[in-house]
A and B are shown apart, each in its own frame.
Chain A
Amino acid sequence: MLYLGPPRDPGAPSVPRVARADLAPDWTARCAALAAEARDPRLCAFYAAGAPAGDTPLGQVELVAVDVETTGLDPERDEIVSVGLVPFDLTRIRASASRHWIVRPRRALDAESVAVHGITHSQVADAPDFTEVLGELLEQLAGRVVVAHCAPIERGFLAAACRERLGEVLEFPAIDTMELEARAHRQPPSVWAWLAGLFGRRAPVPSIRLAAARARYGLPRYRPHHAAVDALAAAELLQAQVAHRYAADTSLAELWS
């Protein structure tokens, strides 16, 4: 169901500002702790870069939109087949600096997931293992705040890949554009409701899926399930959400988790 027209009420953000900032984690401290525990040099460098303080205004935060395509939906069983990212901030989405990797999953691709992301057996056969791109990926994420539409997916799969391959912990601050959209429509953020929607149950109205959310802000329709395109789509959505519901001086802590 498409909700027509962008929200026209920027004066009344439906976000309980103070309460949410209070709940936000202290990522500076968390990064320091994780840096002490990490053994892999790539992860050590990543944590050492730290995270911006929660009271940093959004306008000063370096962001990176991330999307992963996977063999399925369960981080415990399924694996990443591609990662796309786009660095950006509130004034410029650096599509020109976007990155895209195809990686070889340890689990075979099934026809269903190929149909979703369009990455084929022959493409993954020649692709590197996730560990081979991890260094470059972490360099791109270091010091930035991740933005994803349904961030638990990106967090879950990237953490699982590090845990299984390196026995390491990967955690990072993230802004979830889907969760921001759910807040705006006064619904509890629920990955499971969204997943249920994927499996044919009726999506809640208005839909907070990426294409529907974008349409509300007048953003164009992009083809879904290409990691670089989805990352770009999420970056554009966050700029739109901030333009309509927040401001450049909104503190990071109000948005991230």
Chain B
Amino acid sequence: MQVEQLEILDFLRAHPPFAGLPEDTLRGVAAAVDVRYYKAGERILEFGQTAEWWFVVRSGAVEVYRRDGTLYNRLTEGGYFGEFGLLRNKRVRFPAAALEDTLVYQIPEPVFTELFENNEAFADYVEIEDRSRLRQVVSRREDANQPMTAKVDSLVGRAPVMLGHEASALDAARRMTEEGVSSLLITDGERGGESGGEDGQEGAPAPRVVGIITDRDLRTRLLAEGLPHDTSVSRIMSTGLVTVAHSQLVFEAMQRMLRNNVHHLPVLRGSQPIGVIALSDIIHHESRNSLFVVGNIFRQQSVDDLAALTADVRACFVRMVGEEASSRVVGAVMSAIGRSFKQRLLELAEAELGPPPVPYCFLALGSMARQEQLIVTDQDNALILDERFDPARHDDYFKALATFVCDGLARCGYSYCTGGVMATNPRWRQPLHVWEGYFSAWIERPSAQGLLDSGIFFDLDGVWGETAWADRLRELVARKARGNSLFLACMARNALLRTPPLGFFKDFVMESDGRHSNAINMKRRGTAPLADLVRVHALAVGSRARNSFERLRDIIAADILPRGRGQDLHDALEFIFAVRVRHQAEDLAAGREPDNSIEPEKLSDFERKSLRDAFQILADAQKFLKFRYQPGRAN
């Protein structure tokens, strides 16, 4: 006979790996649990001992270690450990000890194994391969990612205004004016419904919509034809209604309007109209579309006008996040917007200062060049000047140009680069041969310290003017960097300066040495070191790509990483980006100033878990980087 241990059952039921189990299974598991108390500091599992149990932390806190004794994870109530040994060779792989006084529930190996084998969701949840779990998470997001996913009903602002078919054109015009609408649905009933067709008499069939009448119909079919005001609406209405179902995409509604040359579409749920959307509704919706925002940037006539678009840029960002665009798409779109601001500012600058005395190329550097820009970003830029550049005669112009653009960018939300990497800095406003000299020196006579300051130039993109010069510099870098082991070693060393944390513990960020902090900068501890690491490999394989995901593709093709690690890095980058993006969008939606700093209490359990997986991938990749680009090692 099995006795239900109610406390155990309730506890398991409330914790994620068990939450989805069928009730019978859950009861079986609860009845198989044994219990043990450990005082703070007591060892729970020793490396190599027989693995007999899977452990769930009931209360207290547990530390899990790697074989070399370094901290692997720290767990609190609901955390679990011991699965690794159970699923492999039934030997403990990760030793564990109580960090606080701890009560653990122990599930015997046969029960765990049966659960693992028969319950896919459970197995997915506790799956020991952190990497494959992150892969699932990311691919699920990628599958769900369709452009323009907004549904038609999200645009319906009010119930349709309806009128019976026997009413006059004058009635119709008055009704439209009263209601402030540009169309009316015409029904076969006496009066039509009032609004929404829901207030007809009890049991009476809802009136059937037989036509639509719009502002344009009144103009073209009544006034232009010279018909009297008492003409019946049924004479001037459009029949053969073009409608759209409430669950269709806004995109489809727009296509339908264009194809049928109509500006109003009744929206139906089943056979009942729930509203009418007009072309203006779609335009309003699309005004938060990135293409619209970019188009708008080029129509602005002054820096003030451009600065006023900041709100649209932010709305566009929030909309993309709401539509679950992948963070890679968000990064690319935000970079395109940033690029457009630069281009328009340069046009405005040339309009004010006159045409440039010699040709130039305006460069974007860093995240914008990588197409990984988000909402909170510095401006990093530079100018390449024509070889005929004569400082005495021309620099006043370019200094003014640079100042115009950098000040303008700052007003549009791109704060000044604190490191002075801006075209306003004379050092970064130089003819092409000087730039070639810079890059040659950085690569051929590298120092880790020197490359700390110049690392940002290895992500560069021509934005305006003679963009072929930017291509030339990239070509030079690709040619010289590849095979230059000292340079790569210096770049690798710098790429290891910023490390990820180990994970999360309670409401803290947990560092590898066990220290805690209250918040994590997702850029500094996540995406930036990942981008740094990918850049080193990309330089080593001679990739010309600018975007980290594209660089990864080249790196994978060059086959320099252990199998599967390239995909892991892709997933880690995508996921950490996604968390950054989502939290910035949340900040914006809540009216807070967005930043890159996240407090762990704002992360869901799922995010914490997946972030931990991503951090682990980054930490492992950093170890590999260190090993691969040791000074003197031939690559």
> CB distance B3 to A99 under 8 Å?
yes
A155 close to chain B: CB less than 8 A: no
Knowing A98-B5, A229-B6 touch, does A217 contact B37 (C-beta < 8 A)?
yes
- Could you say which of A25-33, A69-77, A233-241 contacts chain B? A233-241
For the complex, give the distance between the alpha carbons of A236 and B104 in Å. 10
Within 8 A of A (CB), among B24-77: 31-40, 42, 58-60, 77
The smallest C-beta distance from A46 to any residue of chain B, in angstroms, reads 20
Closest to A241 in B: B37
| Contact between B5 and A243, CB atoms less than 8 A apart | no
**At the interface with chain A, which of B95-103, B373-381, B500-508, B565-573?**
B95-103
Q: Is the CB of A95 within 8 A of B5?
A: yes
- The answer to whether A239 touches B8, judged by C-beta atoms less than 8 angstroms apart, is no
Interface: B7 (CB within 8 A): yes
* Contact indicator A244/B39 (Cβ below 8 Å): yes
Contact yes or no, A223 B37, CB < 8 A = no
Distance A98 CA – B39 CA, assembled complex (angstroms) = 24
Asked if B103 contacts A219 (CB within 8 A), the reply is yes
B392 within 8 A of A: no
Query: Chain A 190-201 against B: per-residue CB contact (8 Å), 1 yes, 0 no?
Result: 000000000000
| A residues less than 8 Å from B590 (CB atoms) | none
Contact flags A75-89 to B (C-beta < 8 A → 1, else 0): 000000000100010
Whether the pair A96, B32 counts as a contact (CB closer than 8 A) is: yes
CB pair A218–B34 under 8 Å, yes or no, is no
Q: Say yes or no: is B1 at the interface (Cβ < 8 Å to chain A).
A: yes
Is B103 a contact of A243 with CB atoms below 8 Å? Answer: no
The docked-state distance in angstroms from the alpha carbon of A83 to that of B256 is 73
A3 part of interface (Cβ distance < 8 Å): no
* Contact assessment for A235 and B3 in the assembled complex, using a CB-CB cutoff below 8 Å: no
Q: Tell me the nearest residue of chain B to A136, going by C-beta.
A: B1
* Chain A positions within 8 Å of B100 at CB level: 218
The answer to whether A93 touches B35, judged by C-beta atoms less than 8 angstroms apart, is yes
Cβ of A160: which chain B residues have Cβ within 8 Å of it?
none
Residues on the A chain within 8 Å of B31, using CB: 96
Q: Write out, one digit per residue, whether chain A residues 117-142 have a CB within 8 A of any chain B CB (1) or not (0).
A: 00000000000000000000000000
* In contact, B60 and A218 (Cβ under 8 angstroms): yes
* Chain A residues closer than 8 Å to B106, beta-carbon distance: 92
Structural contact, B7 and A229, CB atoms closer than 8 A: yes
- Consensus secondary structure, chain B interface: mixed
Whether the pair A96, B33 counts as a contact (CB closer than 8 A) is yes
Decide if B59 touches A229 in the complex (CB within 8 Å).
no
- Chain B residues, CB < 8 A from A91: 36
Q: Among A6, A84, A92, A222, point to the contact of B34 (Cβ < 8 A).
A: A92
CB distance from A3 to the nearest CB of B (A): 14
Q: Evaluate contact between B101 and A229: CB separation under 8 angstroms.
A: no
Residues of A contacting B6 with CB < 8 Å? 223, 226, 228-229
Other-chain residue from B11, B36, B59, B60 in contact with A239 (beta carbon distance below 8 A): B36
* Interface status of A204 (Cβ within 8 A of chain B): no
Tell me the nearest residue of chain B to A93, going by C-beta.
B35
In chain B, what residue has the closest Cβ to A243? Answer: B39
Contact for A217 among B2, B36, B101, CB less than 8 A: B101
Most chain A CB within a 10 A radius of its CB, from B1, B32, B34, B60? B34
Q: How far is the CB of A40 from chain B (nearest CB, A)?
A: 24
User: Which residue of chain A lies nearest to B60 when distances are taken between CB atoms in the complex?
Assistant: A218
When distances are taken between beta carbons in the complex, the residues of chain B under 8 Å from A244 are 39
Q: How far is the CA of A99 from the CA of B4 in the complex (A)?
A: 9
The reply to whether B42 and A219 form a contact with Cβ atoms under 8 Å apart is no
Contacts of A222 in B (CB 8 A): 7
| Chain B 70-102 interface 0/1 with A at a Cβ cutoff of 8 Å (1 = within) | 000000010000000000000000000000111
Give the shortest distance, in Å, between B76 (CB) and chain A (any CB). 12
Question: Does A232 touch B at the CB level, under 8 Å?
Answer: yes
The residue that A218 contacts in the complex, of B8, B32, B59, with Cβ under 8 A, is B59
Give bound CA distance, A223 to B7, whole Å.
8
Residues of B close to A10: CB separation below 8 A: 39
Q: A95-B5, A228-B5, A229-B6 are in contact. Are A220 and B103 (CB under 8 A)?
A: yes
Interface flag for A42 (CB, 8 Å):
no
Query: Chain B residue with minimal CB distance to A229?
Result: B7
Report the Cα distance A214→B345, complex, angstroms.
68
Report the Cα distance A171→B462, complex, angstroms: 92
Q: A226 to chain B: which residues have CB within 8 Å?
A: 6
Chain B residue at minimum C-beta to C-beta distance from A226: B6
Residues of A near B32 (CB, < 8 A) are: 96
Closest to B39 in A: A243
A94 within 8 A of B: yes
| B7–A218 touching, CB < 8 Å | no
Closest to A222 in B: B7
Q: Could you mark each residue 5-27 of chain A with 1 if its beta carbon is under 8 Å from any beta carbon of chain B, else 0?
A: 01000100000000000000000
| B35 engages A236 (CB within 8 Å) | yes
A100 with B102: CB separation less than 8 A: no
Chain B neighbourhood of A223, CB < 8 A: 6-7
In the assembled complex, the CB of B55 is this many whole angstroms from the nearest CB of chain A, namely 12
Known: A95-B5, A100-B3, A229-B6. A240 touches B34 (CB 8 A): no
A243 contacts across to B, CB distance below 8 A:
37-39, 42, 101
Q: B37 and A239: CB pair below 8 A?
A: yes
A-contact 0/1 string along B586-597, CB 8 Å cutoff:
000000000000
Given contacts A92-B36, A98-B3, A240-B37, A220 and B102 within 8 Å (CB-CB): no
Question: In the bound complex, what is the Cα–Cα distance between A88 and B3 (angstroms)?
Answer: 15
A217 — which chain B residues lie within 8 A by C-beta? Answer: 37, 101
**Residue on A nearest B42 in the bound complex, by CB:** A243
**Cα separation A220 to B103 with both chains bound (whole Å):** 8
Q: Which residue of B lies closest to A236 (CB)?
A: B37
Q: List 21 A-B contacts (CB under 8 A).
A: A6-B40, A88-B35, A91-B36, A94-B34, A96-B108, A99-B1, A99-B3, A218-B101, A218-B102, A219-B59, A219-B103, A220-B11, A220-B58, A220-B103, A232-B5, A235-B35, A236-B37, A240-B101, A243-B37, A243-B38, A243-B42
Please give the residue numbers on chain A whose beta carbons come within 8 Å of chain B beta carbons, in ascending order: 6, 10, 84, 88, 91-96, 98-100, 217-220, 222-223, 226, 228-229, 232, 235-236, 239-240, 243-244
Residues in B lying within 8 Å of A, measured CB to CB: 1-8, 11, 31-40, 42, 58-60, 77, 100-103, 106, 108
